[in-house]
Amino acid sequence: LSLISAFVSYCVKQSGVIVVESVEYRCGQQEQSSQHDKLKVIKKSCDGKKTCDIDIQIFGTPDPGTCKYLDTTFACFPAVHSTACEGSTANLRCDEGEVSVVYWADYGRRDTTTCSQSRPTHEIQNSQCPNPTTKVADSCNGKSSCTIEASNSVFGDPCPGTYKYLDVVYDCELHTVACEGSQANLHCDDGHVIAVHWANYGRRDTSTCSYQRPECEVQNAQCANPTSKVADSCNGKSSCTIEASNTEFGDPCPGTYKYLEVAYDCPFHSITCEHSYANLHCDEGHVIVILSAEYGCNDSTTCSYKRPPAQPKNTQCSISTSKVAESCSIKVSNSVFGDPCPGTYKYLDVVYDCECKKYLALVLSQLEPSSLGMTPSPKVDGVRSCSSQRPLRRMLTDRLLAHSRMQLFSPSCRMTSEQKGPYNGIWIFCRNISDVSTTL
């Protein structure tokens, strides 16, 4: 089967943008060759955009008759997209009780239209000047408001003579602070679990946790110390307590009185015991987004009621699965997921969010459509209105399942198995999911 001439990714959310995760050639479920060397090229071209066309000729031509298709994994973040022209400032703002988490930032020029008003042609014609930067995240993560100048003095000059701009993609998350020696208490309502997006133990300003502290202990505001320990301890729990101490996190700045900052979210959580049915549900106008799904047994208490003592004994037994994304109601059994630990009574553990339909549009066309007897190019269905309710936020990239093309489906499950794929590598998801047949 021949490869199509261009791979087209869509992230047509109202404020959503693409973040590319991986690129590889596959045949069915078997990876043929990873494309790590091309990943950086594609990320520079696509990260931060709503739509992106990739010429697959950069991968070369596969051998005739070889079973290959291009498998690109990317996330569409329901985030705020801010652009500041060179010489101006980017202003990141969050509501009270929330702080910013920067997903991506770039200072350069990636098209000829952004920040082009009244600029001479020679200053905007270079659209091949991507320059990803972590400086915005370093300056703004964990703050409720943040201002950063879009200038060469801050980011350097990646393309002299070109008029540049700063692109920032960020979201606003729940925030908690615990002063050194106290405890951070993270909590989610029933049916939800903690998903930590960012945490820092140190000191990033002179005012937080400064009450009755001597000036010498709070004057060092350059003590940023991001940590993954909070996520490791708290992710997947409904509540979590962690001590803000040097014993727990080490001492990044001796003599400075520190504090622990955590930005987190509370997605839905579903546990279904073996031989039962898992039923996931979202309100009208929203669709389910699977964030993680595991089948097995990770503790001795879940689904242990009235079970023989020997059955739930193996607590190091679980496998990640993408099968939950294929159905809204699925039987929890070995016949569906396989048996990762014979003799152990297992359960299905699913974390998911509900997204507003109008924010979701993803098209992955991986093989020549004509090979399936289809029309030449699948298209995205027209925009449908839905609730003005703000969509629940997505977890960060490392919490997303590897195959984002399998994540989106209708709460009423009106797609038939034939319409869902993955037949011959074609996956189609669109805003009005019940009309998939007309889209095809």
Asked if pLDDT for residue 72 goes beyond 70, the answer is no
Tell me the C-alpha distance between 344 and 273, whole Å. 12
Q: DSSP character for 129?
A: B
Chain centroid to Cα 206, Å, comes to 32
Strand partners, 351: 269, 292
The per-residue pLDDT for range 401-437, each reduced to its tens digit, is: 222 322 333 333 232 223 333 322 222 232 233 332 2
- 414, 317, 309: which is closest to 357 by C-alpha? 414
Give span(s): CATH 2.60.120.740, the chain.
80-173, 180-265
Mean pLDDT of all residues in 166-177: 88
Tell me the C-alpha distance between 165 and 122, whole Å. 15
CATH class held by domain 180-265:
mainly beta
Tell me the C-alpha distance between 389 and 119, whole Å. 39
- 319, 308, 295: which is closest to 343 by C-alpha? 308
pLDDT, residue 418, reads 30
Give 335 or 38, the one with higher predicted confidence: 335
**CATH number for the 80-173 domain, one of 2.60.120.740, 3.40.50.10320, 3.90.1150.10, 1.10.10.10?**
2.60.120.740
Mean pLDDT of all residues in 184-213: 92
pLDDT, residue 195, reads 87
Asked if pLDDT for residue 316 goes beyond 60, the answer is yes
Tell me the C-alpha distance between 79 and 171, whole Å. 5
The per-residue pLDDT for range 11-60, each reduced to its tens digit, is: 443 345 676 766 666 554 455 555 566 777 777 777 767 666 666 666 66
The per-residue pLDDT for range 75-108, each reduced to its tens digit, is: 665 567 789 999 999 999 988 888 888 888 999 9
Q: Is 74 left (phi over 0), alpha (psi -120 to 50) or beta?
A: beta
Give 387 or 320, the one with higher predicted confidence: 320
The per-residue pLDDT for range 114-140, each reduced to its tens digit, is: 999 999 999 999 998 988 899 999 899
Tell me the C-alpha distance between 165 and 335, whole Å. 54
The per-residue pLDDT for range 235-248, each reduced to its tens digit, is: 989 999 999 999 99
The pair of structure tokens assigned to 218 is 């709070």
